[in-house]
Amino acid sequence: MKILSVLFPGFTALDLIGPTTACGLMPGAEFQTVARTPGPVKVDMGLEIVATHSFDTCWSAPDVLFVPGGGHGGFDARQDDELLDAIARLGGQAQWVTSVCTGAG
């Protein structure tokens, strides 16, 4: 199962780590993290988690598209047209779209 997690500045790390840990227990689970550009993305507590792919280089049809939440980061993300367009495009090709907390916004 291909699980693609969307990262954006200010997302909540726990919202990514918890579900990823649970899904990682499934046999055959594969993961990619995606952001505007590959590389470090700051979470709401200032730590960084690496996006392995950009919107253009990630799986185009993941089994699961996952969006974590984030306080102010989540609000800012909802103002980011490029991010929203990527979520819409990738989500339209995914079998499931899921989120935690404000990631559903």
pLDDT in tens, 67-92: 999 878 888 888 999 999 999 999 99
Domains identified in the chain, total number: 1
Query: For the chain, what is the largest distance between any 2 Cα atoms, rounded to a whole number of angstroms?
Result: 36
Give me the CATH number covering residue 94.
3.40.50.880
Mean model confidence pLDDT for the chain: 94
What is the per-residue pLDDT for 86?
A: 97
Cβ atoms of 101 and 71 within 8 Å: the answer is no
From the number of C-beta atoms within 10 Å of its C-beta (0-12, 13-18, 19+), residue 85 rates as exposed
Residue 75 belongs to domain spanning:
2-104
